[in-house]
Amino acid sequence: MPEFDYTDLLPLGPDETEYRLITREGVRVTEAAGRRFLEVEPEALRLLTETAIHDISHYLRASHLAQLRKIVDDPESSGNDRFVALDLLKNASISAGGVLPMCQDTGTAIVMGKRGRHVLTDGRDAEHLSRGVYDAYTRLNLRYSQMAPLTMWDEKNTGSNLPAQIELYAEDPNGHPDEYKFLFMAKGGGSANKSFLYQETKAVLNEKRMLAFLEEKIRSLGTAACPPYHLAIVVGGTSAEYALKTAKYASARYLDSIPTEGSASGHGFRDLEMEKKVFELTQKLGIGAQFGGKYFCHDVRVIRLPRHGASCPVAIAVSCSADRQALAKITPEGVFLEQLETDPARFLPDTTDEHLGGDVVSIDLNRPMPEILAELSRYPVKTRLSLTGPLVVARDIAHAKIAERLDAGEDMPQYMKDHAVYYAGPAKTPEGYASGSFGPTTAGRMDSYVERFQAAGGSMVMLAKGNRSKQVTEACQKYGGFYLGSIGGPAARLAQDCIKKVEVLEYPELGMEAVWKIEVVDFPAFIVVDDKGDDFFTDTTGPVLTIGRR
DSSP 466-535: S---HHHHHHHHHHT-EEEEPPSS-HHHIIIIIEEEEEEEE-GGGGGGSEEEEEEEEEEEEEEE-TTS-B
The answer to whether the Cα torsion of 422, 423, 428, 430 is positive or negative is negative
Confidence band for 338, pLDDT divided at 50, 70 and 90: very high
Last residue of a domain, one of 298, 321, 344: 321
Peptide bond preceding 524 in cis form (omega within 30 of 0) = no
Q: How far apart are CA 508 and CA 393, in angstroms?
A: 12
Q: How far apart are CA 396 and CA 225, in angstroms?
A: 17
φ and ψ at residue 338, rounded to 5 degrees: -55, 135
Tell whether 409 and 458 lie within a shared domain.
yes
For 429, residues 6+ apart whose C-beta sits below 8 A from its C-beta are 141, 435, 436, 502
Mean pLDDT of 56-65: 98
Last residue of a domain, one of 352, 370, 403: 352
Tell whether 163 and 306 lie within a shared domain.
no
pLDDT for residue 281: 97
Tell whether 141 and 92 lie within a shared domain.
yes
Residue 226 domain-assigned (yes or no): yes
pLDDT for residue 306: 98
Residue 419 domain-assigned (yes or no): yes
Residue 158 domain-assigned (yes or no): yes
Residue 3 domain-assigned (yes or no): no
pLDDT for residue 154: 93
Tell whether 271 and 388 lie within a shared domain.
no
Edge-first strand order for the sheet with 27-32 is: 27-32, 35-40, 119-120
For 546, residues 6+ apart whose C-beta sits below 8 A from its C-beta are none
pLDDT for residue 545: 58
Q: How far apart are CA 238 and CA 9, in angstroms?
A: 9
- Report the half-sphere exposure of 215 (CA within 13 A, side-chain side): 23
* Cβ proximity of 337 and 267 under 8 Å: no
* Cβ proximity of 357 and 82 under 8 Å: yes
Residue 544 domain-assigned (yes or no): no
Tell whether 531 and 512 lie within a shared domain.
yes
Query: 69-103 pLDDT, tens per residue?
Result: 999 999 999 988 998 999 999 999 999 999 999 99
* Cβ proximity of 285 and 171 under 8 Å: no
Mean pLDDT of 275-281: 98
Tell whether 220 and 331 lie within a shared domain.
no
Angle 79-95/62-73 helices, nearest 10 degrees? Answer: 150
Last residue of a domain, one of 352, 370, 397: 352
Note down the domain range covering 232. 189-321
Q: Report how many domains make up the chain.
A: 3
Residue 298 domain-assigned (yes or no): yes
Q: How far apart are CA 322 and CA 211, in angstroms?
A: 27
Residue 547 domain-assigned (yes or no): no
Tell whether 129 and 167 lie within a shared domain.
yes
Mean pLDDT of 421-436: 92
Tell whether 64 and 178 lie within a shared domain.
yes
Torsional class of 35: left (φ above 0), alpha (ψ -120 to 50), beta (otherwise): beta
pLDDT for residue 547: 43
Query: 208-220 pLDDT, tens per residue?
Result: 999 999 999 999 9
Residue 152 domain-assigned (yes or no): yes
Torsional class of 450: left (φ above 0), alpha (ψ -120 to 50), beta (otherwise): alpha
Tell whether 157 and 47 lie within a shared domain.
yes
Which CATH number covers residue 378?
Answer: 3.20.130.10
Peptide bond preceding 228 in cis form (omega within 30 of 0) = yes
Burial class (CB in 10 A: 0-12, 13-18, 19+), 545: middle
Tell whether 330 and 464 lie within a shared domain.
no
Tell whether 337 and 394 lie within a shared domain.
no
Tell whether 183 and 273 lie within a shared domain.
no
